[in-house]
Chains A and B, each alone.
Chain A
């Protein structure tokens, strides 16, 4: 839906129906695929909705409001993940301080551990790289759609995906070898 169509729809009918409903599922997928945790996804979605609320006029005027909303969702999800990672590190530091070990060797290759490592690594990418990688690789979106969400050219979106992938490979090298 183009901006003019969205604006017309939101003027004539309901802003929610025009802006949110067509991409509800994508919003949920965006926050879930990045956070992988119900509480974090909930928190991320709430933060995203607050951002959309505060910037509602700007969202409506945006050339591609749906892409902007998805980017807001993904950014909120990354923020939630980063908060979680910082909390984990603080907890890990506390465990280390008090002689506790969070993981056992048996857990190392578990799916849960891999997922956690992947999310940690994603959170260390730039937002554009992480968003481009998740949209392209995980959600299977076209580069054109990735570029629309990021608000950049398609060639730039490709660069973000490739650089994100290379960075993830470096960050997850140990896990990949084990796998």
Chain B
């Protein structure tokens, strides 16, 4: 037997026997105690994890409440008075008006611009009307357009100015009441059931018979109206007004003489173009 075999054999014989039962029993007692301790530790860890999760969830909920719900709670549905007030305070309103007098008719488009000081300008067909408050100051005819629907539409947009002749002020109320709706309910009612009412404040009004209706959509945050739609029962008359807002233009925008000069210099199409009607952010390049 080589020394290596000797050492292996002696080591195996000396140390290779099993653990004596009485020793194994003592040692297993320690393992059992360790198992109990480890189990308690895991429970404590799980508990602390659960507590951490609950605490995190509570913090998240609080943050949600503060960050998301609170602004919503502080932004209740605007009242009709809020909407009227915001509209009247807007420095420059552009209204694209589409008028249909029958379901098969092509819509007639009109454009109106209103300033904070009561100045206004309306383009319909071949005419551009200039006015201030209830007064029509001038009319510039760019071309002859005697289509009856244009005349009807012009008559329609003249209506509010005729209606406010006494007070001299153009407001959202006077615009709506100038629509061919007859006797309206005194105040539009907030409609919480409309499908977009979570995003937009919706106001409805109708004639007592329910035959004619007006709906106004307003932004919840700024409380500015963005759309007004009039329909009659048969859908023959439809007026859609899309409203947008921009900074106030130069005073010459409401000046009929300045407009005539632009027409002479640039031609009617270029003179009618009004880039200020669409406010573009600076980061959008002009040719994008």
Contacts and interface: CB of A to CB of B under 8 A. Distances in A.
Contacts of A27: 31
**Majority secondary structure of chain A interface residues (helix, strand, loop or mixed):** helix
A45 B18 contact: no
A72 to B, nearest CB: 12
A176 B2 CA distance: 11
Interface stretch (B19-27, B73-81, B250-258, B265-273): B19-27
Which of B3, B18, B41 has most A Cβ within 10 Å? B3
B30 A49 contact: yes
Nearest to A50: B34
Nearest to A111: B14
Interface string A125-142: 000000001100111100
B31 A138 contact: no
Given A14-B42, A31-B27, A176-B10, A49 B19 contact: no
Interface residues of A, number: 38
A169 interface: yes
Contacts of A28: 19, 23-24, 27-28
Please tell me the size bucket of the interface on B: 20 to 34
Contacts of A41: 19, 23, 26-27
Nearest to B29: A42
Which of B3, B15, B22, B28 has most A Cβ within 10 Å? B15
A137 B12 contact: yes
Contacts of B12: 137-138
B195 interface: no
A174 interface: no
A99 to B, nearest CB: 31
Interface in A97-146: 111, 114-115, 118, 133-134, 137-140
A60 B259 CA distance: 83
B38 A53 contact: yes
Interface of B: 3-4, 6-8, 10-12, 14-16, 18-20, 22-24, 26-28, 30-31, 34-35, 37-39, 41-42
Interface of A: 14-16, 20, 24, 27-29, 31-34, 36, 38, 41-42, 45-46, 49, 52-53, 56, 111, 114-115, 118, 133-134, 137-140, 165, 168-169, 172, 176, 179
